Amino acid sequence: MSGVHPAWLGGLGGGAGLGDDVVLTRDPLCGLEAEAYTIARSGGVTTVVAADEAGLMYGSFHALRLDGELAAQTHRPFVARRMVQHWDNVFVHPVMGQVERGYSGGSLFWEDGALTDDLDRVGDYARLLASVGINAVSLNNVNVHAGEARLLTDRLSEVAALAARFRQYHIRVYLSVSFAAPMVLGGLDTADPADERVKAWWAAATQRVYATIPDFGGYVVKADSEGQPGPFAYGRTHADGANVLAAALAPFGGEVYWRAFVYNHRQDWRDRSTDRARAAYDHFTPLDGEFAANVVLQVKHGPIDFQPREPVSPVLLSMPRTSLAVEFQATQEYTGQQRHVCYLPPMWSSVLSTVAGAVDAVVTVSNAGDDRYWTNHPLAQANLYAAGRLAWDPALDPIALLDEWIGLTFPPAAAGVVHELMRDSWAVYEGYTSPLGVGFMVHPGDHYGPDVDGYEYSRWGTYHFADRDGVGVDRTRATGTGFTGQYPQPLADEYESLDTCPDELLLFFHHVPYTHVLHSGKTVIQHIYDTHFQGAAAVAEMVGRWAALPPETVGEDLHARVADRLREQVRSANEWRDQINTYFHRKSGIPDAQGRRIY
């Protein structure tokens, strides 16, 4: 890493300091809760009052965003736990690289197995996260390989060095740990959570962690998922497994983030009785009430896997006696991989509007790396920015947050163009990729670019079932997998019925003929053609808009970077358009009503 690394491209935390027109008062008797603050600005002077240091810090960052007078307002975080998780491999993985699904260069923390020597950059990152309200970070990949497992034991000093940088900004660090750690690290012949030696191993290992890092946050665990070890091997439940780690952490105030991403990843595509969408609910809802108080069940926001469009996961609506975290993915694995502009907060905000009352934590998979702009595509910063702001206050308007980020980042002369490029970019992306909620159709493995049948005959459980007559997955109770029955009412009936299922989720829940007429009045096939032509055309327009912005308005380097990524987005969007349209034209034999070019 060399050169400058602007935070929010020169906005918050990028060296901006508080002037003497900001008065900070820490008053433990002010009656505010932890992290909360009251802020006002009058006569050109901003006052911030909080009961603790963290509250003062959040108030200070708010002061930097302020523009004009403000009558006193009190702000408090919606959830106490606002975490960013890094899928950092520590050692470069032969297939996944340094950061799994990382599209922003290398790691911020490790370089091919060794702790970074740029801890100042880690400090900058901590400030950047704190400026939007993040207060927890997990440092390593949820897939824990043998080398990374050692962070928990003999490499703890590295974790401590990172924790010291994050602590300055009131951020606690967490580690992803392997469920098999008692075997891999402890030399035991079992990881059975009922075995006393296993319990003792976790207790002792955890005690050592806290002796080194007294404010350590806890563990993140991906168990019985995509090949990771877990309690199923011993005939135990996930509550049995999670509770052993929770017991080890409890004396120190630590927590376990236990992931609900558990499904059969060795499915036979011929087997129509198994539905991956059902898996998390089937595994976890019977355990509601059985998890220890310091276990947070971490649930991906949709039932499958961070697709451009999914319904909300029913698990988030069905476990009232369990602490829940909703998991978002800022790293744009299935949404353009930080080469395409795709502003995701409108998606997250709509999820939060459904689950906000049910979740205790918001987790975001980080999209930052050692790239000069943090996120490869400079505009992808806005996803991380808004992820933090929405975790603090899910009621915030995602487009207002976009403008907030733009205002802190770009000069007024560029603001309009950036806004136009980004505002509808999720809808544009959805337009030229997999249609109507059916998902996938991506290139297997790297998940970039179109491959309509790439996963159709695979073991991963992600199928679209297109044939000459129709497309989509029948997840109804009446004739399909019964997944709609996992929702509470009114959603269970809304998704079940073709009359009420929203167009954008139609193919997630139903298999319909190409001639099925959507609520929009179009047939499914015409919708596919239209959205793909329109989506690709919208990207071509974005290129023109950006080119018309004089480079010096935003700096030549940044201008060139965005222009380069937009060129790739156009190429890729055209490829998507042509492959999807051609595929469905060939399957259905139905021509485009507008006679446009299909191959």
Q: What are the residues binding ligand GCU (CB under 6 A)?
A: 100-101, 142-143, 222, 261, 305, 333
As measured in angstroms, the least distance from the Cβ of 252 to ligand GCU is 26
The β-bridge relationship of strands 470-471 and 97-99 is unpaired
CA angle 364, 370, 374 (to 5 degrees): 55
- Least distance from C-beta 207 to ligand GCU, angstroms? 28
Q: Cβ 86 to ligand GCU, closest distance in Å?
A: 12
305 is catalytic: yes
Residue (143 or 366) nearer to ligand GCU, CB: 143
Choose between 97 and 214: whose C-beta lies nearer to ligand GCU: 97
Kindly give the residue spans of alpha helices, DSSP state H, lying in 190-237: 196-212
Instruction: Tokens for 266, please give them.
Output: 């060795």
Is the sign of the CA dihedral 434, 440, 442, 448 positive or negative? positive
Provide the minimum distance between the beta carbon of 245 and ligand GCU in the complex, in angstroms, as a whole number. Answer: 18
Nearer to ligand GCU, 179 or 583 (CB): 179
Which residue, 435 or 461, is less far from ligand GCU as judged by CB?
461
Q: What are phi and psi of 285, to 5 degrees?
A: -60, -30
Residue from 347, 332, 330 nearest 132 by CA: 330
Q: Which is nearer to ligand GCU, 148 or 333 (CB)?
A: 333
Distance CA 18, CA 60 (A): 7
**CA-to-CA distance for 74 and 51, rounded, in angstroms?**
12
How far is 478 from 471, CA to CA, in rounded Å?
Answer: 18
Closest approach of ligand GCU to the CB of residue 443, in Å: 12
* Cβ proximity to ligand GCU, 329 vs 526, nearer residue: 329
Tokens of 479: 């004739």
Nearest to 303 by CA among 483, 68, 485: 483
Q: How far is the CB of 144 from ligand GCU (least distance, A)?
A: 11
Q: Which of 386, 274, 380, 385 is nearest to 336 (CA)?
A: 380
Residue closer to ligand GCU by CB (options 93, 167) is 93
Distance CA 299, CA 314 (A): 10
CB atoms within 10 A of CB 135: 27
Q: How far apart are CA 196 and CA 418, in angstroms?
A: 58
Residue 88 Cβ, how far from ligand GCU at the closest point, in Å? 12
Tell me how far apart the alpha carbons of residues 358 and 369 are, in angstroms, rounded to a whole number.
31
Let me know the angle formed at the C-alpha of 337 by 331 and 343, rounded to the nearest 5 degrees: 70
- What are the tokens at 116? 């970074």
Given 224, 305, 404, 530, which residue is catalytic? 305
C-beta of 9 vs 277, nearer to ligand GCU: 277
Q: Which of 192, 310, 333, 504 is catalytic?
A: 333
> Which ranges of 252-374 does DSSP label H, i.e. alpha helix?
279-284, 345-355
What contacts 24+ positions apart, CB below 8 Å, involve 573-576? 573/340, 573/432, 573/535, 573/536, 573/539, 574/536, 575/449, 575/450, 576/432, 576/433, 576/449, 576/450, 576/532, 576/535, 576/536
Q: CB of residue 596 vs ligand GCU: minimum separation in angstroms?
A: 34
Q: Which is nearer to ligand GCU, 32 or 316 (CB)?
A: 316
User: Which of 69, 226, 397, 469 is the catalytic position?
Assistant: 226
Q: How far is the CB of 450 from ligand GCU (least distance, A)?
A: 17
Positions annotated as catalytic residues are: 226, 305, 333
